[in-house]
Structures are given as structure tokens and as C-alpha cells.
Amino acid sequence: MIILGISAYYHDSAAAIIDNGKVLYAAQEERFSRIKNDASFPEKAIEFCLYEAGLSFEDIDLISFYDKPFLKFERLLETYYAFAPKGFKSFAKAMPVWLKKKLFIKQFINKRIIALSKSKKIKIPINFPEHHLSHAASAFYTSPFKKCAYLTVDGVGEWATTSYGIACGEKGVKVLGELHFPNSLGLFYSSFTYFLGFKVNSGEYKMMGLAPYGNSNSKSVSYFIEIIKEKLIDIKPDGSVKLNMVYFEYPVGLHMVNPEKWELLFGLKKRLPDEKLVQIHADLALAAQKVTEEVLIKLIKFVKQETNESYLCLAGGVALNCVANSILFQQNIFKDIYVQPAAGDSGGAIGAALAVAYIKQDLNFQGLNKPFNVYLGSKSSNQDIGRLLRKYKCNFRHFESKDELAKVTAQYIGEKKVVGWYRGRTEFGPRALGNRSILADPTVPEMQYTLNMKIKFREGFRPFAPVVCEEDYNDYFEHGKHSYYMLFTSKVKKSLRKDLPEDFEKYSLEEKRKLIKSDLPAITHIDFSARVQVVNKDLNPALWNLIQAYKERTGIGVLINTSFNVKDEPIVNTPEDAYLCFMKSGMDVLVLENYIIEK
């Protein structure tokens, strides 16, 4: 059975093609539209998936949409009714969209499929699994486990904001409990994202990166945690939460929180997006991160108690918080934890299709015997790239040998040059995992600032992830979860760290950033942590070969890996996207498959 999975209309729209329970292709609409976090119907992503699979719309047996619109609309109406007359502006803004499109999504999907297929005869059945079932299925059916507990945590689906249960290859996904809107850990975290001047649904990872700059032993962090737990969130022993809605606007407002109330509460003005970050902002971010981690620890302890399973799958937007994931892993409550690499709403397209596939076909899932292949997007031939380079009249070198290409690229990186790396299929999900990446030398102290300010054009405090071959992980990092998808953090080995000054906490954020903290300064965050991507040779042989070539040349088996894009743009998708991004940024070298272009 061939199933088309779709997620759309909130953020990170995507499409996926599943054949008999196997994910063939998947892509986010933003990669084609070039609109960051594009929420529109994923027409281009659907067309891509079908083309790559060699299928037409007539070949699709079923369409699966990642949530239940009527149930979500019920929640919307009940919420507005409960808070009336407050929220009329938000209600007036939301209703036309719902009445014209979202409420009648079945008819809308049918119309779009007819338009795309150019056949009025085509009619494909549409299923609507619940949002959190889509999340759970996306994690379990791409995991190495035959049976496990699962936990999904995000902003909100229809009513659920958190769900847990048991997933079994023979019996499917069984929901054991849910937490309902408006009590949401995801929206709690997003509220702080908003108050600190970052964009909701895309800036949460910025707040996570800012949090380690907070002074954990300071009075302000302790005070903020105390205020948060006293006034904003009531944390129950089982990890369920109750938010004090006096301080939150998101149920019916146009903003996440009431800024004036939060300013009085914390004695701190709401930060504007372009306003300079100072220590108090980092302290508040750290307090929110610590409270979030406390809730998650209680949740997984409760899930373990209720399920008595040995393994855990995580999904939902909160599962993209790699710092929290690492804290959970270190608890040793479960033997192992798996996080779906596209844990947010884009992954719902895969999950919706997988959920229906295993329900409809009664398939028996036995766990994947190798890492889930996240390289599910578009690729380009050397012929396509050759045409592009002739179009722009580029000087280039072409390499027939992949080993020679790796050696030459490693030489450039060893010469402290920044390389745009475009090889193979695009990664699915929010992370660049070595196919649409910017690569650089992690030993250069200035490289972190250079990449942020001159190449990515983004906030200078933002950390960069290291990429290391699986065999070499223990040479550079303390014991931790080996993540192929950059979803956990690890500490840099103590033997590589530098001693921090005794008065380090008195330094400004910029002074803290500049201080050299290890022998790999460009990837070592302020707390000696790093969001490590471990490279499996079978999963990504091209990247593995490049790291090994760099190691042979320099003795260092680690590279910086950051996404191939600039601020507020999606990761590059086509060779032309890559070339244009290369030309307008400070990158020195561009690798397009077997071609190398110098600036």
C-alpha cells in the first residue's frame, strides 16, 4: 500500500511517501518555496516525492493528514467560549481561515490533488490520525525498538499537548494518557522564547543556545526559577503541569503572553528582536530551560513507572531540545532513548503515513536494524551542476575520484577556509546532517564568530555543532548518547578543556563567548558542551571519508557542521540555491557533488 503523508497549515509543512511501511522520500515545503517554516499546503513537496518515487497520483492508495481538523476546531471554539469576551480580535482573525480552508480540509486536499494531477476523476481516500498519534508513530516506526514506551510533548495538537503510552510491533501504538490544552510545556517554553525577543516556532533553539550563558549559581537564576514555579507553572509529581493562565495570552490572544504582566513579574522589560542580549536575558533563559528539564524528568519517571518498558521514543517539538534530551539520557531511567530526527510538525507527515500504514495493513514492526535514513530529499546530478556552472560562467575543478575530492576539500578546511558542502540527498528535518552543510576547522578560535557574523549573518552567541566519525567519538567527548541526528549534547573531554577564570561569571556575554574553552574552541559551548553529530560510515560515507581525510592531514577528527543557509532562509535545496548562498556569504569554497568552486 502506497500512502502519501501530509502535514500543513501551522508551521513546517511537509510531505512523505510510504510504501508498505517503508519511508521512500520526504521533504519540507520550505525547501522548494524558500519561505522559512512555510505552513502552506506542500504542493511542491508532494510533486517531488511522487517524481522521485516514479509514481503518479493514480498510484496512491491513501492520503494521511497529520491531525484531525474538526477536533482542533472544537478546541478552538470551546477555548474562545471559555475566555469570552476576551480574545475577540484573535477570534475574528482565525475564523475566516478556518471557515474557508482548515475546517474543510478534506475537500481542499481533494481539490488540490485534482489540480496537481490534472484529472477530475481522481479521488483518493483521506485518513486523519490524531496529531500526537502521528508524532508517536513517526518516532516508533523509525526506531530500533520492537517494543517501547513513548512520550510526545509539543505546543498543542487537537487537544493534547503531551501524550504517553506503549508502542509494540505487533499491537501498534496504545495511548495511556494525555495532558490537554491550555496546559502545555511546549507553549510554556515558547512563551519565554517570545518574551526574550525570538520568533515563536523557530527561535526556541536560540533560547536553548542562550541558556548556558546564564550564571547557574547566581541569585537571579534561583529567583527566576522560584518565580516561575510560584506564579506561572504548577508541576505535579507525575510531570503533568497546570499553567496560571492569568499570565498567558496564547489561548485567545495575538501574542504568547501579556508583556506588562511578565515585566512586573520578572522586573525585566520584554526584549525587542534586535535589542542587545545581556546577562539577565541569559539568566531567564536558563531558568526556563531548567524548569522544562525538571518537568521532563518527572514525566519520563512517570512513564517508566506506568509502562515498565526498557526503551523510550520521544517526539513532538519539545523533543528537539537536545540539552533536555541529554539530561533525560543521563538519568538512566531507560536503557536507551530514540528521538525522531524531524520530531516537530514536519515529521508529522511521516508519522501520519506510518500510523495508517501499520493500522490498515496490520504490519508487524520489528525495529530497524540500522539507523533511520534521514537523507530523503532531493539530489542533483553532475550534469545538472555542470549546466549551472556554465550558466554562471564559474571557474571550477571536477573530480572523478571521491577520495581525491575528499582530500582536496580537507586541504581547504585545513587552510582555515570555510566550505559549502552539497552532496547526495537533502536531509529531512531541521538539522543539516552533512549533505547540505557548511564545514570548517573547529580549532580556530575566531571561527565561531566568523561563521555567525560573516557567513550566517546571525546572532554572535550561537554555538556550532561538531561532526565526528563514530569510531573517534571517545577521543574528543565524554560518555554520552551517540546521535546521528544532532539531538543530544555531550561534554568535550576534560583533557581537551581549558581552565576558566575564577571570576568567569562576572564576564559579559561577549567576553564569555570569546574566551577559549578547549582545544576545539569553535565547537565548545560556554558550559563545555557540544551538540555532537556522530557519523556512521554506512549512513553517510561521503562525510565520513571527508572527516577521515581531514584527520589524516591535521590529526584532528572533528569538523564544524552547520546548516547551509543564512539567517531567516531555509537550508539550500538545489545547486542554484547553494551557489547563490555561497556568493552572497563569506564562504571561501563550494563543493557541488564532484565539482569544486573557489571564490
Please name each of the domains of the chain with its CATH number. 2-137+343-361 (3.30.420.40), 185-337 (3.30.420.40), 382-598 (3.90.870.20)
pLDDT for 235 beyond 90: yes
pTM of structure: 0.95
State residue 404's pLDDT score: 97
Going from the C-alpha of 198 to that of each of 208, 275, 397, 455, 487, the distances in angstroms are 11, 11, 41, 20, 21
Beta-bridged to residue 558, according to DSSP, are: 468
Q: CA 478 to CA 323: how far, in whole Å?
A: 15
Please tell me whether the peptide bond between 182 and the residue prior to it is cis, using omega within 30 degrees of 0.
Answer: yes
Q: Which of 418, 374, 424, 317 is nearest to 533 (CA)?
A: 374
pLDDT in tens, 502-522: 999 999 999 999 999 999 999
pLDDT in tens, 360-382: 898 999 999 999 999 999 999 98
State residue 340's pLDDT score: 93
Beta-sheet strand order (sheet of 533-535): 397-398, 595-598, 589-592, 419-422, 436-440, 558-563, 465-469, 533-535
Q: CA 468 to CA 561: how far, in whole Å?
A: 10
H-state helical runs in 259-394: 259-266, 279-307, 322-330, 347-361, 382-391
C-alpha cell of 80? 474562545
Percent of the chain with pLDDT over 90: 89
Kindly state the average pLDDT of the residues 158-172: 96
State residue 562's pLDDT score: 97
Confidence of residue 102 (pLDDT cuts 50, 70, 90): confident
Beta-bridged to residue 397, according to DSSP, are: 596
Q: Do residues 417 and 329 touch, judged by C-beta distance below 8 A? A: no
pLDDT for 76 beyond 90: no
Q: Do residues 66 and 6 touch, judged by C-beta distance below 8 A? A: yes
Beta carbons within 10 angstroms of residue 496's beta carbon: 18
Beta-bridged to residue 143, according to DSSP, are: none
pLDDT in tens, 103-130: 788 999 999 999 999 988 899 999 999 9
C-alpha cell of 28? 519540507
State residue 91's pLDDT score: 74
State residue 113's pLDDT score: 95
Beta-sheet strand order (sheet of 311-315): 172-180, 160-168, 147-153, 311-315, 336-339
Q: CA 378 to CA 184: how far, in whole Å?
A: 35
Q: Return the HEC string of 467-535.
A: EEEHHHHHHHECCCCCCCCCCCCEEECHHHECCCCCCHHHCCHHHHHHCCCECCCCCCCCCCEECCEEE
pLDDT in tens, 319-346: 999 999 999 999 999 999 999 999 999 9
Q: CA 304 to CA 326: how far, in whole Å?
A: 17
Confidence of residue 252 (pLDDT cuts 50, 70, 90): confident
Kindly state the average pLDDT of the residues 401-408: 97
Buried b (16+ CB within 10 A) or exposed e, 327-365: bbbeeebbeebbbbbbbbbbbbbbbbbbbbbbbeeebeb
Among 38-47, 102-111, 459-468, the minimum mean pLDDT is found in 102-111
160-168 and 172-180 strand pairing: antiparallel
Q: CA 90 to CA 103: how far, in whole Å?
A: 17
Burial of 593 (0-12, 13-18, 19+ CB in 10 A): buried
pLDDT in tens, 193-219: 999 999 999 899 999 999 999 999 899
State residue 526's pLDDT score: 95
State residue 83's pLDDT score: 79
190 Cβ neighbours under 8 A, 6+ residues apart: 155, 200, 201, 204, 250, 256
C-alpha cell of 307? 509502562
pLDDT for 98 beyond 80: no
C-alpha cell of 131? 496529531
State residue 81's pLDDT score: 75
State residue 303's pLDDT score: 98
